[in-house]
Amino acid sequence: MKMLYKKIALILAVIPALNGYAATCPDAGAFNVLPQFNAPQKKSFKYFGNQLLSSFYKPFHMVQDAIVLEGKTATLVGKFDYDIILHKDLEGEKVHTYLYSQGMTQWEYIGATITNRDGRVYVPIADRPVGEYMVKMVVEGDLSSATGYLNVVEPNRKTILFDIDGTLTLNDFEGVGDYFGSKVAAAHAYATEVVKAYTAKNYQIIYLTGRPYWVTEDTRQWFKTKNIIPRHLHTNPSSGGLLSLDTENYKTDYIHYLINDARLDIVRAYGNAATDINAYARAGLPAQDTYIIGSQAGNGGTQDIGGDYSYHFATVVEGTPAVDCHN
Ligand SMILES: [Mg+2]
């Protein structure tokens, strides 16, 4: 009898997957209310040089967002450095990692990790249920911190991919490597409405930008000022990135990861640059589902968005069916 129940449970679990009706609805307001965060005990830095670094310079830490297929182990990557110009890495110091998702009553302590020679920590998170998680990493020596997100997704999660600079924003900072205005950059008309509409229709949003890792916090600020959901954000882990081929390769590689490992179903991709068109095509995204704004629009058989998003919003986005999902 027990076996029979097990079999029935198994069949019931498989049916929605076969119908493609397996998606868990994302929750835009998942992190609007957070439990109180109890910081770890502050202890002195291991190295005196790092004490000086922390005393004289402003932290530029970041946590790279992670997205993984359910059942897989995610690797959270934190990068810890100081000063907007120097970007001096914090080496050999202890960082504490915490996790929170809706339904939990408090922050879960994951553990302590020592930063490597690049100021990075790699923290594995194994086999979490489908959902969205907030990640906090705290430097023990001065309690400076950074926040990011982990998404655990079902296979074939319907996804919309966006470039940021020159695509959602008016200016292509990414193209010229001038990121200092990125926190306050103006958006194309109806760009944020497009993002919000897809969010409301339960699509997974991916922001894949050539912006280097140290612009991550400014980028999160930008999302906040535009009142759009800031996840999933992927910035370039290498700080260089002025060479367009580097950007193209970096974007191609990450889309390969999203498709082959995270098993996302990317139904539309938005961009403005030749690097976007090339990367999307090389990663196998069809040109007819690639929407380009600006001077490159229409190249390579892509769709021309127009001068801004108002017409595209009315003719394409509004009529896009919502993703079937359940809570
Ligand atoms: Mg761009």
CA of 287 to the centre of ligand 1 (A): 17
Cα 56 to ligand 1 centre (Å)? 34
Q: What pTM does this model have?
A: 0.90
Under the banding of pLDDT at 50, 70 and 90, the label for residue 18 is very low
- Could you tell me the distance, in angstroms and rounded to a whole number, from the CA of residue 203 to the centre of ligand 1? 21
Per-chain residues with Cβ under 5 A from ion ligand 1: 163, 165-167, 174, 272-273
Section 139-151 average pLDDT? 97
Per domain, the residue ranges of the chain are: 48-153, 158-317
SS3 string of 170-212? CCCHHHHCCCCCCCCCCECCCHHHHHHHHHHCCCEEEEEEEEE
Question: Ligand 1 center to residue 156 CA distance, Å?
Answer: 26
pLDDT at position 24 is 74
Q: Which of 272, 268, 274 is nearest to 316 (CA)?
A: 268
Residues in the chain: 327
Considering the chain, what is the average pLDDT of its residues? 90
Q: How many angstroms separate the alpha carbon of residue 174 from the centre of ligand 1?
A: 6
Tell me whether residue 222 is exposed, middle or buried, using C-beta atoms within 10 angstroms of its C-beta: 0 to 12, 13 to 18, 19 or more. buried
CA of 4 to the centre of ligand 1 (A): 55
* The pLDDT of residue 14: 44
Give distance in angstroms: CA of 32 to centre of ligand 1.
29
Rounded to an integer, the average pLDDT of 25-51 is 91
pLDDT on residue 99: 97
What would the pLDDT profile of 223-282 be if each residue is shown by its tens digit? Answer: 999 999 999 999 998 865 556 668 899 999 999 999 999 999 999 999 999 999 999 999
- Structure confidence by residue, pLDDT tens digits, 171-197: 887 766 777 777 888 999 999 999 999
pLDDT higher for 21 or 257?
257
Interval between CA 65 and ligand 1 midpoint (Å): 19
Domain 158-317 has CATH 3.30.1370.60: no
Residue 123 CA to ligand 1 center (angstroms) comes to: 30
Distance 186 CA to ligand 1 centre (A): 14
48-153 topology per CATH: Immunoglobulin-like (2.60.40)
**Tens-digit pLDDT profile for residues 79-114:** 999 998 888 999 999 999 999 998 899 999 999 999
CA atoms of 125 and 110, how far apart (whole Å): 8
| H helix intervals, 20-115 | 48-56
Distance 261 CA to ligand 1 centre (A): 25
Distance, CA 270 to ligand 1 centroid (Å)? 9
Interval between CA 272 and ligand 1 midpoint (Å): 5
**pLDDT at residue 6 greater than cutoff 90:** no
Q: φ and ψ at 83, to 5 degrees?
A: 80, 130
Closest CA to 31 of 197, 223, 177: 223
- Distance, CA 35 to ligand 1 centroid (Å)? 36
* Spacing, Cα 190 to ligand 1 middle (Å): 17
